[in-house]
Amino acid sequence: MIESTLRRGRRSFARRAVGAQSPLWRLDGVLLVAVAALCVIGTLLVWSSTRTWAPGATGLVKKHVLNLLIGTALFALTASIDHRAMRAYSPLVFLVSLVGLVLVITPLGATINGSHSWILLGGGFAVQPSEFAKLGLTLMIAMLLAQPAEGGDRPRNLDVVIALTASAVTMGLVMAQPDLGTALVLAVITASALVIGGVRKRWIALLASVAGAGVFAVFAFEMLEPYQVARFTAFVDPGVDPRGVGYNSTQSLIAIGSGQLFGKGLFEGGQTTGRFVPEQHTDFIFTVAGEEFGFVGSVTIVLLLGVVLLRGLKIARKCDDRFGTLAAGTIVCWFAFQTFINIGMTIGIMPITGLPLPFVSYGGTATFANLIAVGLLQSIRIREQSFS
């Protein structure tokens, strides 16, 4: 009997030892659960916000679920690839993203919601290359700044120049669409990578000066489209035209405020059912959460997004190589900025810029890019010895 017990014990230990070598055991489970929870909540909100008008009542939510399934497959594929191997292919990924941006400004491009940012694929599907440009630029800059100058721990000046050039080209193509929101995200990606990469302060000062001059030029030479100017006008004074430029902000605040503490219940939101808030399944998905899940539900979404950011920061902090640290840290800044802008514009503390809420808003290309980015975080987490 004692021998039998020992044999069972040895078999159990062997199974655990083998399992410990599996990459699945090294995934960040907390990050995985947080992202999955956000995707489930987002699916419910998309269903609620589109069920009264989408084709077949569940047409868009079915497409959203399909996008999530494809995104999950892309996540698994990315997580299975060694992030250090991705470094070698970063220029290729960046070039492919640039090709997509160039195709948008050709006859292949299509205009949706005032932004010429899409390529129609047929069958009701479209691709937004600017979402993949976030990934391409993140990998490219991380690769360039990961190699320190000889005899030091800072990036070489030449690499910084190339990184800024890559960013300028990408942002220029995005602004040509025009897509101010995505251009701002690309600017944050660039700035955060430079700070994390430890570039000299003069580069940060130069970048800040160029950014300030750029903002001045945009307004001084009236480079914004009329609808973009209207968004800033509504932000400064939402009551200036409540049925015109201030309509979105006003209806958004009404929807969120009406949910009070616990919300009206899923499918029970009057503002949502009546479609008083435009684009409530994409850019304004947080208004649906506020109305139907209330303050408690909204805070839950914010906390889950906070968990994603904190786990990403932990991965960046514990990573043993500069490329992984740069890529992970930049992804966290990307998610943090986009989350702040999206939620901020729904509660009136930020101008409307048309950025979706990560993992929650309806979308195809944005969903793919977000889940690939999480896959990259998991790839870093799986293979770094400091996590052992």
- Domain contains 130: no
Helix axes 129-145, 83-104, angle to 10 degrees: 140
**68 occurs within a structural domain:** yes
Please give the chain's pLDDT, 388 residues, in tens: 455 544 555 444 444 444 445 566 788 999 999 999 999 999 999 999 988 776 665 678 999 999 999 999 999 999 999 888 888 899 999 999 999 999 998 888 887 766 778 888 776 678 899 999 999 999 999 999 998 766 567 888 899 999 999 999 999 999 888 888 899 999 999 999 999 988 888 888 888 887 777 777 766 666 666 656 666 666 666 666 566 566 778 888 889 989 899 999 998 888 888 888 888 889 999 999 999 999 999 999 999 999 999 999 999 999 988 999 999 999 999 999 999 999 999 988 888 888 999 999 998 899 999 999 999 999 999 977 555 5
Residue 148 forms part of a structural domain:
no
Q: State the Cα–Cα distance between residues 111 and 120, nearest whole angstrom.
A: 10
CA distances from 290 to 243, 284, 343, 360 (A): 22, 10, 11, 13
Burial class (CB in 10 A: 0-12, 13-18, 19+), 206: middle
Kindly report the pTM of this predicted structure: 0.88
The number of domains in the chain is 1
- What residues make up the domain containing 67? 27-86+173-387
Q: pLDDT value at position 16?
A: 46
In a domain, 357, yes or no: yes
Cβ atoms within 10 Å, residue 274: 11
Q: Do 330 and 137 meet the contact criterion of CB atoms below 8 Å apart?
A: no
- The residues near 120 (Cβ < 8 Å, ≥ 6 apart) are 110, 126
Whether 82 maps to a domain, the answer reads yes
pLDDT of 6 reads: 43
- Asked if the structure places residue 118 within a domain, the reply is no
d(CA 255, CA 49): 12
* pLDDT given at position 225: 62
pLDDT of residue 118: 83
77 in a domain, yes or no?
A: yes
List, in order, residues 6 or more apart from 149 with CB less than 8 Å away.
Answer: 155, 156, 157
Asked if residue 194 is part of any domain, the answer here is yes
pLDDT score at 109 = 82
